[in-house]
């Protein structure tokens, strides 16, 4: 059954720069957007690739004199996650059925292996919380039928916020050599791999690297006075930036399997991290030999063919 209007099921702030601006203050509009989401029973996640969950919480909460972030975290309305460590399944993500097995995420990332553009960190993050989905029915709540049990958020109903300022930040991830060269673009790509919508915040003075991989490119989530702001209505489906739900796609727009991408990427990175330098050099040489690149003999033949024309 389809709904005419779908609210986001989870907001994900990917990287601390999506929360804190260049002045080391809470980014204008962020707290207002999170509180608006909470009023609609929509949880938020702050996900980091360079800080542990405790480090992330300390930095975010230290920049918030009102103490709102700490209060929301204590009430399990705001969740801190890090791809540097295994995610902890919270109590609200466990089944109520005593005979059923305790709910466990599909996959643990750990040790920084699942960083962008691999979608594993995003995929794991939403697997650690549950939501109570909105019911189906007519306008003004007429004939609404609610879900019988909670479930994890669906990726196509998650909205990821990425900031261009992340490209200035040094990260502690183990391997960035397979990325696009831009942390913020990698995060947009990993969101696409998951089938999540992405809002890219282009800070003043930064180069936008999210062309063709972000669903929306904005200058801010709100001004100091919040006259110009991004609201939940804007990022709903349909909303100000998109009409339909997202499906997992690669950077070129082709449909992919999120789980296959994760399996391939994590197997490759785990292997690379376990090798010493000499083994990595050997694999690099072997890969170069296996590339479909013409050698000198092939080039000579092609030139001879051209001379005969």
Q: Are residues 28 and 131 in the same domain?
A: yes
pLDDT at 268: 82
Q: Listing from the earlier edge strand, what are the strands of the sheet with 197-201?
A: 78-82, 44-48, 10-14, 158-163, 197-201, 216-218
Task: Please report whether residue 47 resides in a domain.
Answer: yes
pLDDT tens for 219-254 read 999 877 766 789 999 999 999 999 999 999 999 999
Beta bridge partners of 161: 13, 199
* 173 and 215 belong to one structural domain: yes
Give the closest residue to 8 by CA, choosing from 239, 229, 228, 193. 239
pLDDT at 287: 39
- Residue 82 placed within a domain: yes
pTM (2 d.p.): 0.79
Does 2 map to a domain? no
The mean pLDDT value of the chain amounts to 79
Q: What is the pLDDT of residue 96?
A: 47
Number of domains into which the chain is organized = 2
**292 pLDDT exceeds 70?**
no
Query: Does pLDDT of 49 surpass 80?
Result: yes
Q: Which residue has the higher pLDDT, 282 or 197?
A: 197
pLDDT tens digits for range 129-162? 888 877 655 555 555 555 556 788 999 999 999 9
Do residues 159 and 86 both lie within one domain? Answer: yes
In a domain, 201, yes or no: yes
Confirm whether 220 is domain-assigned: yes
**Residue 266 sits in a domain of what CATH number?**
3.40.50.1000
Q: Is residue 4 part of a domain?
A: no
What is the predicted pLDDT for the residue at 92? Answer: 44
Full domain range(s) for residue 304:
279-309
Give the residue, 293 or 45, on which the prediction is more confident: 45
pLDDT of residue 22: 85
- Out of 10-14, 64-68, 104-108, 247-251, which region has the weakest mean confidence (pLDDT)? 104-108
Q: Is the pLDDT of residue 177 over 60?
A: no
Q: Which residue has the higher pLDDT, 64 or 2?
A: 64
Q: How confident is the model at residue 101 (pLDDT cuts 50, 70, 90)?
A: very low
Do 156 and 301 belong to one domain?
no
In a domain, 129, yes or no: yes
Which comes out higher in pLDDT, residue 94 or 10? 10
Specify the range with the lowest mean pLDDT, choosing from 89-103, 135-149, 267-281.
89-103
- For residues 93 and 37, membership in a common domain is answered with yes
**Contact in structure between 17 and 165 (CB atoms under 8 Å):** yes
In a domain, 3, yes or no: no
214 and 132, same domain (yes or no): yes
Residues 252 and 292 in one domain: no
| One domain for residues 250 and 184 | yes
Percent of the chain at pLDDT > 70 equals 70
- The answer on 76 and 150 residing in a single domain is yes
Same domain, 293 and 250: no
Query: Do 244 and 296 belong to one domain?
Result: no
pLDDT range class, residue 55, cuts 50, 70, 90: very high
**pLDDT score of 279:** 52
Q: What is the pLDDT of residue 128?
A: 86
Which is more confidently placed, 302 or 274? 274
- 57-69: average pLDDT: 93
Q: Residue 174 above 50 pLDDT?
A: no
Residues 289, 232, single domain; the answer is no
């Amino acid at each position: 059954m389809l709904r005419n209007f779908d609210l986001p099921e989870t907001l994900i702030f990917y990287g601390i720069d999506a929360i804190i601006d260049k002045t080391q203050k809470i980014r204008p509009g962020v707290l207002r957007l999170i509180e608006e989401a909470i009023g609609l029973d929509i949880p938020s996640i702050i996900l980091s690739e360079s800080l542990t969950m405790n480090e992330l919480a300390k930095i975010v909460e230290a920049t918030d004199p009102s103490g709102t972030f700490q209060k929301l975290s204590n009430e399990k309305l705001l969740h801190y996650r890090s791809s540097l460590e295994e995610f902890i399944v919270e109590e609200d993500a466990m089944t109520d059925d005593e005979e059923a097995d305790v709910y466990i995420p599909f996959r643990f990332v750990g040790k920084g292996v699942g960083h962008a553009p691999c979608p594993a960190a995003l995929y794991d993050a939403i697997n650690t919380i549950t939501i109570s989905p909105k019911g189906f029915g007519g306008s003004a709540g007429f004939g609404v039928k609610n879900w019988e049990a909670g479930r994890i958020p669906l990726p196509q109903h998650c909205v990821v916020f990425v900031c261009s300022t992340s490209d200035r930040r040094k990260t502690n991830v183990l391997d960035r050599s397979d990325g696009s060269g831009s942390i913020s673009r990698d995060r947009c790509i990993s969101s696409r791999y998951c089938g999540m919508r992405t809002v890219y915040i282009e800070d003043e003075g930064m180069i936008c690297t999210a062309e063709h991989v972000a669903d929306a490119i904005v200058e801010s989530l709100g001004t100091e006075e919040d006259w110009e702001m991004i609201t939940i209505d804007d990022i709903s489906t349909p909303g100000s930036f998109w009409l339909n739900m997202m499906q997992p796609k690669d950077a070129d727009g082709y449909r992919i399997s999120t789980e296959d991408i994760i399996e391939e990427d994590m197997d490759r990175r785990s292997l690379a991290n376990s090798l010493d330098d000499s083994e990595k050099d050997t694999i690099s040489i072997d890969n170069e030999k296996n590339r479909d690149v013409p050698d000198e003999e092939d080039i000579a033949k092609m030139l001879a063919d051209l001379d005969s024309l």
